[in-house]
Amino acid sequence: MSENSTDISPNPYDDPSIPYVEPPENPLFQKSLEMMKQDKIFRDLNVNLSVLSVAGGLIVLSIIAAMWLYDKRLVNRVSLRLTTVISLVDILTGIAVIEYSTYVARDTLRCTFIAWAMSFCPQLYLFLTVMIAFNLQ
């Protein structure tokens, strides 16, 4: 009986007469796999916590807007205005961290925005917090 071309498997690893042998462990590959897993965990953590931060900033802004709609004199205070700006900065920082976590390195306008926001927003946040402290003295 002759063999058809359909009887022969194109994959040489399907031959049952050849025993399967585990490939040797490559420590560099294992280390890079661990680093990839850690990068994914950090990326997911950054994105999820930044989404919570943006949501918190939006909640603060909506509460201040509701206070303004109820009685404009309630929000006519410097500390509440500074708190509003801090919430806006927090939203911007959260968006920048999400962009940073999902960004593939290229020299684009997005890269420039991320670099600007990641360096400017923490300084502005600190400055506004100090201004609230000076205002409340």
Is the pLDDT at 5 greater than 90? The verdict is: no
If we measure between CA atoms, which residue out of 107, 110, 129 comes closest to residue 118?
110
Instruction: Express each pLDDT in 59-94 by its tens digit.
Output: 999 999 999 999 989 888 898 999 999 999 999 999
Side-chain-side CA neighbours of residue 49 (13 Å): 9
Domain that holds residue 62: 35-136
Domain annotation covers residue 6? no
Q: Would you state the pLDDT for residue 103?
A: 86
Output DSSP code: residue 3. P
28 within some domain: no
> How many domains are contained in the chain?
1
Instruction: List the structure tokens of 74.
Output: 């309630």
Structural domain includes residue 123: yes
Question: Looking at the domain assignment, is residue 2 inside a domain?
Answer: no
Q: Is the pTM of this model over 0.75?
A: no
